[in-house]
C-alpha cells in the first residue's frame, strides 16, 4: 500500500460492518480531517486504504489518518443528517463547510393577540396596543414573529410598509406610557396615536390583524375584507371611518404594485443559486415570505477543492458536479435549526434523499424544484445573477489581497513555505495623557485580518505616557512563552513571519532589545515610521537588524497592506483604550464595590459630582445631600475612596 498505517487502524477498517453510518478521520494531533457518510461503511472506508491515491489531495489526507471513529445508524437519511451536524459543529479540514451565520432578523408583534380588551379606556395601556419592531434572537411564544428575513434592511422596509398602511406603533412601552400628546409619527400619518387614546383598542386590534394577514401573504382576502369594511361604514353614514379604510386600501394597493416580484400562489419559498469559479463558491439565498421577495444573502463555503477531490472513490461511483456538492452541503448544514419553507427552488438537481431527510427532520413537507417556470423562473434567474456578482466581487477582493501579500513578501525578502500562511502581527500603544494605557496586537494571515486572534494588553507598572516601556512589556508578554517553547523544541511553536511595530527608530530599538533578550530572530521586526508631515503614503520601514530604511512608494501594494494592518492595530488599541477610560471615568468598580451602592445611587453620585474624581473630592456633608445617601452611607463612601 502507498501509505503505512497502524495495524490497529487497518484491523478496525477490516472489522467494519456493511451497514449505513458515519465515519470520522483524525490525524496524529487529534485534529478532525474528514467526516463522511456511507450506505455501506465497510466498502466506503476500505476504498480509502486499498487504493494508491498518489500525490492527490485524497492521498494527502489518507497519509495523515491516524485514528478513525464510526457510528452506525438506521438509514442513509439518518447518516446524512448526522454527517452534517458533525461537519457544522466540528469543522473538519476536508469537508465543504459553511460558516455558522444563521442569525436572521425577524419582525416582531408584541403580545400573542389573546389579551382581553377593555370596554372603556381611561388611560391607554401598552399591552392592548401591540408594537411592531425589529428583532434578532430566540423567539418566544408570548409574542408573534414573522420571518426570518435575509437582512435588517428587509425587516425595516417591512416595518415602514406596515406603518404606512396600518399605522401600528413602533415606540417602546416606556415611551408609550409617558406620552401626553401625539408624536411626529402621528403627524405624518405613520401611527394612529394609541398612546393618547386617539384610536380604540378594538379598532387597533383590527389593524393588527390586517397587518398579520399582509405579512402572511393573504393579500387577496385582506383587500376583500377591507372593501367590505369600507362599504359597511358608508352604509351606516360613517364617512370618516370609511375614508380611513379607503386610504388604507389605496396605500396597500400601492405597496403591492411596487413589489418587483409577487405572486398569489407561492407565499413562502427559498431560492438557492450556486456558482463555482477559481476554487471558490457562492450560494445565493433569496427569500420569499408572504408572497413578497425580501432580498437575498450570499454564503461562501470553504474547502471546496478538497471536498471535490474526495469524490468517486468506490467502484462504479460517478463524481457529482461540484455545484451539486456545494448546494447539497448548504441545504444539509444551513437548515439545521432554521425554519425551512415548504418550497425550495434550486439551480442544480439535488438528491431526493436529502429533501426527504430535511422533511423528516423539520416535520414540514418540503419540495425542491429544479428548472422552474414562469415567476419561479424569474426568481431563480435573479438569484443566479446575484450569485455571479457576489462571487466576482469575492474573487476580485481576494485577488487584490493576495497581490498585496505577495508584494510585501517580495519587498521584504520574506520566503514563507506557503504564501497563504504568511503570518504578520502588529502592535500599537494607546493612552490619553498616560491614562488607561493599552497595547493591541492584531493578526494577519491567509490574506486577511484574523479578528478572533486579536489581543489587548493592559499595561501596568510603568510611568504614564512611557510608550517605550509599554512596548517592552507587551512584546515580552506576547513572545516570552513562545521563545521558551522554541528553545525546548516544541514543534507547534512558530514565530510570526513579520512583527510590525507602529513607530520609528526608538520603538524598533526597544523591540530589538526584547527579541535579543529572548533569543529571537531580529530580522522579523519592522517599524512603520510616519513620513514627512505624518502624511499617509509617505511611511518608511525601519528594520531591527541594521538594514537601511525603505520607502516603498505611496502607490505600492506592499505599503497598502502595511498601512491596512497598522491602521487596524491603531483602531483596535483606540477602542480598547476608550472603553477602559470610560470605565474609569464613570466610576469603574471602586464605587460599585462599596456596600449599599447600587446602579441608581452610583448614577446619582456621578451625575451630581461629574464623575468619580468629583465623588472622591466631595466631603461627607456633600455626599449626604445626594438623594438616597444617608449620613452613615456618605461616611462609608468617603472612607472607601480615601
- Predicted TM-score (pTM) of the model is 0.62
CA nearest neighbour of 126 among 79, 65, 73, 178: 178
Q: What pLDDT score was predicted for residue 80? A: 82
Q: Which fold has domain 7-90?
A: GIY-YIG endonuclease (3.40.1440)
State the distance between the two ends of the chain, measured CA to CA, in whole angstroms.
Answer: 77
Q: What angle do CA 482, 483, 484 make, to 5 degrees?
A: 90
Task: Give the tens place of pLDDT for each residue, 416-454.
Answer: 667 888 899 999 988 766 666 788 999 998 888 998 899
Q: How many other CB atoms are there within 10 angstroms of residue 11's CB atom?
A: 9
Whole-number Å distance between alpha carbons of 335 and 323:
18
**Highest averaged pLDDT of the listed ranges 116-120, 122-126, 413-417:** 122-126
More confident position, 453 or 51 = 453
Q: What's domain 419-581's superfamily in CATH? A: UvrC, RNAse H endonuclease domain (3.30.420.340)
Q: What pLDDT score was predicted for residue 261? A: 40
Q: What angle do CA 116, 120, 125 make, to 5 degrees?
A: 60
- C-alpha 639: how far from chain center: 46
- Contact criterion met (CB below 8 Å) for 368 and 355: yes
Q: What integer best gives the mean pLDDT of the chain? A: 82
Please give the backbone phi and psi of residue 550, each rounded to the nearest 5 degrees, phi first.
-125, 135
The domain over range 586-641 is classified in CATH as 1.10.357.10: no
Domain boundaries, the chain: 7-90, 105-217, 269-391, 419-581, 586-641
Region 459-481: mean pLDDT is: 87
Task: Give the tens place of pLDDT for each residue, 568-589.
Answer: 988 888 877 666 655 554 444 5
269-391 with 419-581: one CATH topology?
Answer: yes
Name the class of domain 269-391: alpha beta
- Specify the range with the lowest mean pLDDT, choosing from 65-79, 548-562, 594-608: 594-608
DSSP letter for 192, please: -
Given pLDDT bands bounded at 50, 70 and 90, which one contains residue 536?
A: low
Amino acid at each position: 500500500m502507498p501509505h503505512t498505517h497502524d495495524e490497529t487502524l487497518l484491523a478496525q477498517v477490516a472489522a467494519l460492518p456493511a451497514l449505513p453510518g458515519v465515519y470520522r478521520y483524525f490525524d496524529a494531533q487529534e485534529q478532525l480531517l474528514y467526516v463522511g457518510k456511507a450506505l455501506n461503511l465497510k466498502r466506503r472506508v476500505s476504498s480509502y486504504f486499498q487504493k494508491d491515491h498518489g500525490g492527490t489531495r485524497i492521498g494527502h489526507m489518507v497519509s495523515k489518518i491516524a485514528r478513525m471513529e464510526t457510528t452506525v445508524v438506521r438509514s442513509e437519511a439518518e447518516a446524512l443528517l448526522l454527517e452534517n451536524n458533525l461537519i457544522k459543529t466540528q469543522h473538519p479540514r476536508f469537508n465543504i463547510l459553511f460558516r455558522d451565520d444563521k442569525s436572521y432578523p425577524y419582525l416582531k408583534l408584541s403580545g400573542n393577540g389573546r389579551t382581553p380588551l377593555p370596554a372603556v379606556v381611561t388611560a391607554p395601556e401598552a399591552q392592548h396596543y401591540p408594537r411592531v419592531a425589529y428583532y434578532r434572537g430566540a423567539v418566544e411564544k408570548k409574542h408573534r414573529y414573522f420571518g426570518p428575513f435575509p437582512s435588517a434592511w428587509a425587516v425595516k422596509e417591512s416595518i415602514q410598509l406596515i406603518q404606512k398602511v396600518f399605522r401600528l406603533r413602533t415606540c417602546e412601552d416606556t415611551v408609550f406610557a409617558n406620552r401626553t400628546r401625539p408624536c411626529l409619527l402621528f403627524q405624518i400619518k405613520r401611527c394612529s396615536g394609541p398612546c393618547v387614546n386617539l384610536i380604540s383598542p378594538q379598532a387597533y386590534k383590527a389593524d393588527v390583524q390586517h397587518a398579520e394577514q399582509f405579512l402572511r401573504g393573504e393579500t387577496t382576502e385582506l383587500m376583500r375584507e377591507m372593501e367590505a369594511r369600507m362599504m359597511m361604514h358608508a352604509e351606516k353614514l360613517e364617512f370618516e371611518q370609511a375614508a380611513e379604510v379607503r386610504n388604507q386600501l389605496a396605500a396597500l394597493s400601492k405597496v403591492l404594485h411596487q413589489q418587483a416580484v409577487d405572486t398569489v400562489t407561492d407565499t413562502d419559498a427559498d431560492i438557492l443559486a450556486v456558482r463555482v469559479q477559481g476554487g471558490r463558491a457562492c450560494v445565493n439565498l433569496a427569500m420569499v415570505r408572504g408572497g413578497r421577495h425580501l432580498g437575498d444573502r450570499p454564503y461562501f463555503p470553504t474547502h471546496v477543492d478538497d471536498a471535490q477531490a474526495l469524490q468517486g472513490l468506490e467502484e462504479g461511483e460517478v463524481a457529482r458536479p461540484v455545484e451539486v456538492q456545494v448546494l447539497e452541503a448548504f441545504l444539509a448544514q444551513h437548515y439545521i435549526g432554521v425554519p425551512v419553507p415548504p418550497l425550495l427552488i434550486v439551480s442544480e438537481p439535488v438528491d431526493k434523499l436529502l429533501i426527504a431527510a430535511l422533511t423528516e427532520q423539520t416535520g414540514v413537507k418540503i419540495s425542491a424544484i429544479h428548472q422552474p417556470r414562469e415567476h419561479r423562473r424569474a426568481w431563480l434567474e435573479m438569484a443566479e445573477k446575484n450569485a455571479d456578482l457576489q462571487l466576482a466581487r469575492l474573487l476580485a477582493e481576494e485577488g487584490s489581497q493576495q497581490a498585496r501579500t505577495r508584494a510585501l513578501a517580495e519587498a521584504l525578502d520574506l520566503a514563507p513555505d506557503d504564501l497563504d500562511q504568511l503570518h504578520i502581527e502588529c502592535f500599537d500603544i494607546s493612552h490619553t495623557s498616560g491614562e488607561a494605557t493599552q497595547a493591541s496586537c492584531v493578526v494577519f494571515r491567509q490574506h486577511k485580518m484574523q479578528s478572533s486572534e486579536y489581543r489587548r494588553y493592559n499595561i501596568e507598572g510603568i510611568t504614564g505616557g512611557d510608550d517605550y516601556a509599554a512596548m517592552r512589556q507587551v512584546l515580552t508578554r506576547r513572545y516570552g512563552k513562545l521563545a521558551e517553547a522554541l528553545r525546548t523544541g516544541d514543534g507547534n511553536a512558530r514565530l510570526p513571519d513579520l512583527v510590525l511595530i507602529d513607530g520609528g527608530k526608538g520603538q524598533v530599538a526597544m523591540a530589538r532589545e526584547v527579541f535579543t533578550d529572548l533569543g529571537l530572530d531580529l530580522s522579523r521586526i519592522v517599524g512603520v515610521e510616519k513620513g514627512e508631515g505624518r502624511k499617509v503614503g509617505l511611511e518608511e520601514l525601519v528594520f531591527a537588524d541594521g538594514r537601511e530604511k525603505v520607502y516603498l512608494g505611496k502607490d505600492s501594494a506592499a505599503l497598502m497592506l502595511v498601512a491596512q494592518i497598522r491602521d487596524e492595530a491603531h483602531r483596535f488599541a483606540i477602542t480598547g483604550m476608550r472603553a477602559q477610560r470610560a470605565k474609569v471615568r464613570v466610576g469603574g468598580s471602586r464605587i460599585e464595590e462599596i456596600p449599599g451602592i447600587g446602579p441608581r445611587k452610583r448614577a446619582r453620585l456621578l451625575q451630581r459630582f461629574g464623575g468619580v474624581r468629583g465623588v472622591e473630592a466631595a466631603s461627607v456633608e456633600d455626599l449626604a445631600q445626594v438623594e438616597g445617601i444617608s449620613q452613615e452611607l456618605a461616611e462609608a463612601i468617603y472612607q472607601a475612596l480615601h
